[in-house]
């Protein structure tokens, strides 16, 4: 169930004043951290648009990033079927862990989430020095070059499949996905919008 101000009262705090809350990257699906919330923390998160917990050590509300400015920008809040645990979908503004890593759980993440990570890296390199970054060099060239690369890689994927060369198929597919992400970024589109389109067709 998605949580908003109108249904916070449905959360079940009868077992404990605090309920566990997992934070997940809304773009990559990576689990970022786990904390605890009381009803006031949930309300504060929804009010300010940043994930807020109840800190058991500080004995007060604690907005993640209030010191480091590595905020978790709130996308949505959900509860499980028993309404006694929370899932925050958020966009991290910098490392989540105090150790400087993206996640408090190290590098644990589903393989498909790497597409989201790669997409973020590509977006960050739009304005890098073209001499230092192949990605930046693609953005520096005409749009037609990116379109051409997607076309070329698409043909290479098909040819590899026709030859029944699975190793080449994997390599060419990786090239195709990478150049497609670049092309989408050039058009100010995101891979998540492609997923949304696929989900709409699935329905």
Say if residue 55 is in the same domain as residue 87. yes
Alpha carbons 35 and 52: distance in angstroms, whole number: 9
- CATH code at position 25: 3.10.20.810
β partners of residue 72:
92
Is residue 103 in some structural domain?
A: no
Say if residue 30 is in the same domain as residue 76. yes
Say if residue 84 is in the same domain as residue 121. no
- Predicted confidence at residue 199, as pLDDT, reads 87
Phi and psi of 91, rounded to 5°? Answer: -115, 115
Alpha carbons 80 and 11: distance in angstroms, whole number: 10
pLDDT tens per residue across span 49-94? 999 999 999 999 999 999 999 999 999 999 999 999 999 999 999 8
- Predicted confidence at residue 174, as pLDDT, reads 96
CB 27 within 8 A of CB 120: yes
User: Vertex 80, ends 40 and 190: CA angle to 5°?
Assistant: 90
CB 19 within 8 A of CB 86: yes
Say if residue 120 is in the same domain as residue 196. yes
Say if residue 76 is in the same domain as residue 121. no
> pTM score, two decimals?
0.72
**Residue ranges of the chain whose pLDDT lies below 70:** none
**Which residues, 6 or more positions from 42, have their beta carbon under 8 angstroms from its beta carbon?**
3, 8, 11, 77, 86
Of 92, 127, 144, which residue is a domain's last?
92
Alpha carbons 79 and 72: distance in angstroms, whole number: 18
Say if residue 16 is in the same domain as residue 77. yes
Say if residue 136 is in the same domain as residue 87. no
Is residue 64 in some structural domain?
A: yes
- Predicted confidence at residue 41, as pLDDT, reads 96
Say if residue 86 is in the same domain as residue 117. no
CB 31 within 8 A of CB 57: no
Is residue 17 in some structural domain?
A: yes
Is residue 189 in some structural domain?
A: yes
Q: Which residue range is the domain that position 10 belongs to?
A: 2-92
Sheet of 86-92, strand order: 2-3, 72-79, 86-92, 19-25, 31-37
Say if residue 179 is in the same domain as residue 130. yes
From the CB of residue 62, how many other CB atoms can be counted at a distance below 10 Å?
A: 20
Strand, coil or helix: what is 76?
Answer: strand
Average pLDDT over the chain, rounded to an integer: 92
CB 81 within 8 A of CB 70: no
HSE, CB side, 13 Å, CA atoms: give it for residue 37.
31
Alpha carbons 43 and 144: distance in angstroms, whole number: 48
- Predicted confidence at residue 106, as pLDDT, reads 82
CB 71 within 8 A of CB 48: no
């Amino acid at each position: 169930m998605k949580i908003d101000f109108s249904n916070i009262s449905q959360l079940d705090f009868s077992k404990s004043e605090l309920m566990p809350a997992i934070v997940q990257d809304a773009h990559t699906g990576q689990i970022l951290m786990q904390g605890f919330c009381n009803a006031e923390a949930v309300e504060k998160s929804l009010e300010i648009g940043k994930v807020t917990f109840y800190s058991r050590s500080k004995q007060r509300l604690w907005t993640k990033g209030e010191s480091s400015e590595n905020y978790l920008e709130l996308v949505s809040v959900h509860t499980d079927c028993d309404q006694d645990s929370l899932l925050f979908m958020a966009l991290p503004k910098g490392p989540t862990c105090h150790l400087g890593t993206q996640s408090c759980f190290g590098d644990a993440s589903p393989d498909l989430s790497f597409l989201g990570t790669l997409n973020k890296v590509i977006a960050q390199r739009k304005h890098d020095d073209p001499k230092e970054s192949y990605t930046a060099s693609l953005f520096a060239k005409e749009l037609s070059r990116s379109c051409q690369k997607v076309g070329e890689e698409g043909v290479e994927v098909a040819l590899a499949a026709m030859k029944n060369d699975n190793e080449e198929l994997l390599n060419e597919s990786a090239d195709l996905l990478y150049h497609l992400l670049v092309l989408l970024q050039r058009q100010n589109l995101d891979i998540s919008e492609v997923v949304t389109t696929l989900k709409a067709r699935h329905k």
